[in-house]
Structures are given as structure tokens and as C-alpha cells.
Amino acid sequence: MNARDLVVATPSGLYCTAGDFHIDPWKPVARAVITHGHGDHARLGMGEYYTSRAGLPILQWRLTGQTFHTFDYGESFDIGGARVSLHSAGHVLGSAQVRIEVDGEVWIVSGDYKRQPDPTCAPFEVVRCDTFITEATFGLPVYRWPRTSDVARDIVAWRDACAERGETAILYCYALGKSQRVLAELMAFTDRPAYTHGAIETGVHVYRAAGVSMLPTIAVGDQPRGTDFAGELVIAPPSAAGSAWLRRFRKAQHGFASGWMRIRGNRRRRNVDRGFVISDHADWPDLLRTVRETGARRVIATHGNTDALVRALNEEGIRTGTFETQFGEDD
């Protein structure tokens, strides 16, 4: 750490000294800039929230009754002595990177991001900077994503194979972001409605209200007792696995949509029949590419497999470091 560091790690979270604000803090602070609505980045208890206009509906759903200042992507504003702007991160609807400029020095806090196309949110914007603070959730070269459209086609083929056997295809997806992205991607291959768990349906409403097109959905909970779900695709949060809620699907196969499914051991550990590799985080080639494209001379990794990424960048001559954070590695 030195005096020119625009962002430092504190026990409350990442902190910008010049602007006296935090980014995605985990303890209550006066001013919080929020990159996106996932629970490990957007928490209750902050005095004021700064966020992207596109991300507001999600924050209002997850953190009701707070004071929000919203900004368009690319719109500059000042907090204290720092000039701040938000730029799309391509992670989920409304996700943002935080650009901070003080005396001509530029830092980016990327939050979570991905580079793959995603019909439910704006694409990642490359912003030049001096220091890039990056995630490293999938920071090993074994993580390389297949084309999402191929995976979506596989999901539909799986549902159809289940249908032939009189089984329900239950696909676990994180409730915010992944579920909606899957529902949007599936439209290219099917128009059959998907059934949703209650936790998923709320997010689907928020996305629909924001104008995102997705497969028609039907809430499982609205169906009468004894409904036969054989041959249908059901989207459920991972927490539903093994729960009593599953009893209504008499014969079922279970799938999980996540970048972690790239590795067979992870799929077996989750005890699912099928793993679909579809991630809202950058894979290894995209982590390296993104660092190069930003032109950053210094990179600080926050969460995930930071060791490998830091060492690999170091060997390319980039100055590196890590910040201890409380950001999770769900995908």
C-alpha cells in the first residue's frame, strides 16, 4: 500500500480514501457504491447507496426501503474528492464496474464480470485504467467456457430425453441472473414454457419489467396438487436440492447450470445427473484478456483462485497484489 493507492482493503470492505466511500462493503458504512445485487456484494445497513440505473430494480427487490443514488453507465459524478463513473460489467442485469479517478490516476473495481454475450444484460465495457481490481473466481486455465448457445441446446435436448422417459428435468440455477439468462438463451431452441420455483419467479418478474425477453414461465407453486410435471423443465435454486419441495416431481433428473460444472468431480459432489457449463464469471482466457485490454500496469485480485492468476500475471511483468474480501464464489 502507498499514499497514491485509490482503493484499499479495510475490515468493512474496499475503501476509496479520496472519496470517503466503500465499494460492496460487508459492514455498515456511510456511503456504499454497489456493483451488483448478489447478496455478497449488496448488503443491508449502508447509509446511502450508489448504483447503476439498470441495477436499481434488483437492489430495490433485495434491499427494500434504502436511499439510492442511480447513474447511467458512463455518467460521471463526484463523491468527495473522487470522480466516479459506472461501466457495465456483463455479469447480471445492471452489474457495474466502478471507475475511480483522482488526479489523473484511474482505478477500476470490476466486481464480478464476464465477457461472454448475455441477452439479459449489457456487455462488459473495456475501460482503460492504471490499476484493475479483478475477481478470480475461475482463476485456473482448466476453466474455459463453451458457447452458451451450444449449452442451451444441450439443456433442451436433455429435457426432451427426460420427456421420453416420463421424467421431469429439474435444472438448478442461481436465482438472480443465471436463471434469467438460461430462460433467455433457451428461447432460440424451444418455445415450451418452463416451470419455476418461487425464488426464481420473483427474479423473472424483475427482469421482465426491465424489458428482458425470456421463455414463458409458470410458477410451480400455482399448480394444483397432483399436477404431472413429466417432460417439463423446472428451474429451481440450488438450495431446493434435497428439499421436501422436490417430492411433487415423482420421477426426475437433476441438472446444475454453473461454471463449476466444467469439472466432473464437482458434478458428482453435487450428486446431479447433468452439469451444464454456463457461467456469469470470466473464464481463464477472458481474465487474462481483460487485464491486457484495460492496459493496467497493476492488478489486484479479490476473490476466487487468486494465487494462480496473480502469479501468471506477475510472470507477464504486471505488478500484482490481493485483497482479502468476503465475496463468495457462487456461480
| Interface with other proteins, residue 140, by CB under 8 A | yes
Angle ∠(202,184,228) on CA atoms, nearest 5: 65
Q: How many residues does the chain have?
A: 331
- Does the footprint of other proteins cover residue 166 (CB under 8 A)? no
14 membership: H or E segment, kind and range: strand 13-16
Q: Which three cell numbers stand for residue 202?
A: 420473483
How many CB atoms neighbour CB 158 within 10 A? 18
Neighbouring residues of 74: CB distance < 8 A, sequence distance ≥ 6: 85, 86, 87, 125
Is position 301 an interface residue for other proteins (rule: CB under 8 A)? no
Query: Is position 190 an interface residue for other proteins (rule: CB under 8 A)?
Result: no
Among the residue ranges 34-42, 51-59, 140-148, 174-182, the one whose residues contact other proteins (CB under 8 A): 140-148
**Contact call for residue 265 and other proteins (CB under 8 A):** yes
Which is nearer to other proteins, 153 or 208 (by Cβ)?
153
Regarding 264 and contact with other proteins (CB under 8 A), the answer is: yes
Residue closer to other proteins (CB basis): 266 or 322: 266
Number of H helices, E strands in the chain: 7, 19
- Which CB atom, from 165 or from 205, has the smaller least distance to other proteins? 165
| Site mask for other proteins (CB under 8 A), range 89-128, x = bound | ----------------------------------------
3-state secondary structure of 102: strand
The secondary structure element, H or E, covering residue 101 is strand 96-102
Strand ordering across the sheet containing 13-16: 7-10, 13-16, 21-23, 31-33, 48-52, 68-71
Pick the closer one to other proteins by CB: 156 or 308.
308
Rounded Cα distance between 93 and 71, Å, is: 14
Stretch of 35-43, 226-234, 265-273, 317-325 lying at the interface with other proteins (CB under 8 A)? 265-273
Residue nearer to other proteins on the CB measure, 143 or 323? 143
State which of residues 45, 271, 295, 297 lies at the interface with other proteins (CB under 8 A).
271
Query: For other proteins, which stretch binds (CB under 8 A), given 97-105, 169-177, 212-220, 264-272?
Result: 264-272
Query: What is the C-alpha to C-alpha distance for residues 331 and 329, in angstroms, rounded to an integer?
Result: 6
The reply on whether position 311 binds other proteins by CB under 8 A is yes
Establish if 322 lies at the interface with other proteins (CB under 8 A).
no
- By CB under 8 A, tell whether 312 contacts other proteins: yes
**Is 211 exposed, middle or buried, given 0-12, 13-18 or 19+ CB atoms closer than 10 A?**
exposed
Residue from 38, 62, 178, 274 that binds other proteins (CB under 8 A)? 274
Q: What mask of x and - would describe binding to other proteins in positions 210 to 249, judged by CB under 8 A?
A: ----------------------------------------
On whether the CB atoms of residues 194 and 233 are closer than 8 A, the answer is yes
Question: According to CB under 8 A, which one of 60, 202, 305, 322 is a site residue for other proteins?
Answer: 305
DSSP, residue by residue, 19-88: TTEEES-SS--SEEE-S--STTTS-S--SEEEEETTTHHHHHHHSTT--EEEE-TT-EEEETTEEEEEEE
Distance CA 304, CA 165 (A): 39
Q: Select the residue interacting with other proteins from 78, 164, 191, 315 (CB under 8 A).
A: 315
Positions touching other proteins (CB under 8 A) are 140-144, 262-266, 268-269, 271, 273-274, 305, 307-308, 311-312, 315
